[in-house]
Chains A and B, each alone.
Chain A
Amino acid sequence: MASVTTDQPAPAHSAPPPPGRRFNRTLPQLACGLIAGVAWVVVYANLAGVANWAAYDLAGLTRGSHLASAVEFFVFEAPKVLMLLVLVVFGVGIVRSFFTPERTRKILAGRRESVGNVLAASLGIVTPFCSCSAVPLFIGFVTTGVPLGVTFSFLVSAPMVNEVALVLLFGLFGWKVAALYMSTGLLIAIGSGWTIGRLHLERHVEPWVYQVQAGRAPDESRLAWPDRVHAGADAVRDIVGKVWPYVLVGIAVGAGIHGYVPENFMAAIMGKSAWWAVPVAVLIGIPMYSNAAGIVPIVQALLAKGAALGTVLAFMMAVIGLSLPETIILRKVLRPPLIAAFVGIVGVGILIVGYVFNLVF
């Protein structure tokens, strides 16, 4: 990695260690990173064998029994998903150190719609965002020349298309489903932002929002490489430290369904033939709130038991993309008609995605 460039000027606001000390620390850190990387690959490559051994030799379970299939599922999937999570969150943490909300706002300010919607949705993936920041971010965007529709493209994409969701989808379903989720999530964000822009709903933003004189904070995106690597490590501590219990519980529930729920149990209620399954899944999913880590393993188990892919993905998008807590937070800046338009338009987008998936697969 580019840690050679350590003698770059460090940012003024974070205190850099003296240059000599930093250089002395870089080499051992690089070596540790390399060893950790190799260990990661070796462990990851041998997980299936270890899971098999743990379920049948160590625990002495009978092959083909309900319990054995649940245990094997858990012992294999839990470490696999956690390891993928650590790797990707670390990488994304580094990427995110380049895309602060301040920088994203600068990129989006004054953009035409359409181009702006595409940019905003894409930046939503890489810009750090937490739903508790939704309000200051919303005000900061719309008062500095980011069009309302473009702001919404960002607000839809940021929570829905995130690295945790993508890792879990990749780990449990493979890259095709992860790629489909990402592209359709982006399309929904672009489409609903564009639609909101066309409807000219600015009058339904609380009037005080446009009266705020938004200040500008310094951009934190100029960091030296060691600081970015630290940002990656911080992200792992912060995000993986927070979501691992959800991942484990989610995979445990998934393992239970995997082992005990009969094959095709879900086919009748969540299968392709049930046309009403997609709208019901979306309606149930909208008020629910869970992070991706908790929902994906359950989704995986539903799918394995005969639920249709489109129905399940629509449910997942509705759960993590739209939520009651977020709409309550946004009520501070948006009047009910705009909230209704936001939820309705995104909901319809998810519905379309669900039906299209069910048709294609």
Chain B
Amino acid sequence: MHIVVYGPGCARCHETERVVRKVLAELQCDADLQKVSDYQAMVAAGVLATPAVSVDGIIKVSGRIPKAEEVKTWLRQEP
């Protein structure tokens, strides 16, 4: 599984990365986490508002910090 956190480096983006990392550790999930702060890549992925998170190329949240519960459900949906 490939998770991407999009954000130019604002406080909310760091918080988002922290939430995702925490859930990954909690579920002992070996997904790889990538941080993208390049605007071109961000827009190419369809992100209009940061922070945003995508799982396997599908944007799950944008413009807000996801809750840990939400992150868990994204991870569980995948095999």
Partner of B63, one of A13, A101, A332: A101
Majority DSSP secondary structure for residues of B touching A: mixed
In the bound complex, residues from chain A placing their C-beta under 8 Å from that of B42 are: 136
B48 touches A140 (CB 8 A): yes
A215 close to chain B: CB less than 8 A? yes
Query: A96-120 vs B: 1/0 string, CB under 8 Å?
Result: 0000111001000000000000000
B45 at the interface (CB under 8 A from A): yes
Cβ-defined partner of B45 (8 Å) among A141, A215, A333 = A215
| A208-B39 Cα distance, complex, nearest whole Å | 11
Over the window 146-173 of chain A, the binary record of Cβ atoms lying under 8 Å from chain B Cβ atoms (1 yes, 0 no) is: 0000000000000000000000000000
Chain A residues whose C-beta falls within 8 Å of the C-beta of B73 in the assembled complex: 14-15
B1-20, CB < 8 A from A: 6-8, 10, 12-13
Contacts of A249 in B (CB 8 A): none
- Would you give the shortest CB distance from A298 to chain B, in whole angstroms? 25
Expressed in whole angstroms, the minimum distance between the Cβ of B48 and any Cβ of chain A is 4
User: What's the dominant secondary structure at chain A's contact region?
Assistant: loop
Q: Are A133 and B49 in contact (CB under 8 A)?
A: yes
Which residues in B have their C-beta under 8 angstroms from that of A323? none
Assuming the contacts A101-B48, A102-B48, A217-B46, asked whether A132 and B12 have C-beta atoms less than 8 A apart, the reply is yes
> Are B50 and A132 within 8 A (Cβ)?
yes
Residues from chain A with Cβ under 8 Å of B33 in the complex:
none
Instruction: Establish whether residues B47 and A135, one from each chain, have CB atoms under 8 Å apart when the complex forms.
Output: no
Contact mask for chain A residues 226-260; partner B; CB cutoff 8 A; 1 contact, 0 none: 00000000100010000000000000000000000
- Measured in the bound complex, the distance between the Cα atoms of B44 and A137 in whole Å is 12
A136 near B48: Cβ-Cβ < 8 Å: yes
- Interface residues in A189-224 (C-beta closer than 8 Å to B): 208, 212-218, 220
Q: How big is the A interface, by class? A: 20 to 34
Does A81 lie at the interface of the complex (its beta carbon under 8 Å from any beta carbon of B)? Answer: no
Contacts of A332 in B (CB 8 A): 39
Is there an interface contact between A215 and B60, defined as CB atoms closer than 8 Å? no
| B40 at the binding interface (Cβ < 8 Å) | yes
Check A139 for interface membership: any CB of B closer than 8 A: yes
Q: Does A23 contact B (CB under 8 A)?
A: no
Residue in B7, B40, B49, B65 whose beta carbon sits within 8 Å of that of A137 in the complex: B49
Beyond A132-B8, A133-B48, A140-B48: 8 further Cβ-contacts under 8 Å? A13-B74, A101-B49, A136-B42, A140-B43, A214-B44, A217-B45, A238-B64, A238-B65
A interface residues (Cβ-Cβ under 8 A, vs B): 13-15, 100-102, 105, 128-130, 132-133, 135-137, 139-141, 143, 208, 212-218, 220, 234, 238, 332-333
- A-B CB proximity, top 10 nearest: A215-B46, A15-B73, A217-B46, A132-B10, A101-B48, A217-B59, A140-B48, A139-B43, A133-B49, A101-B49
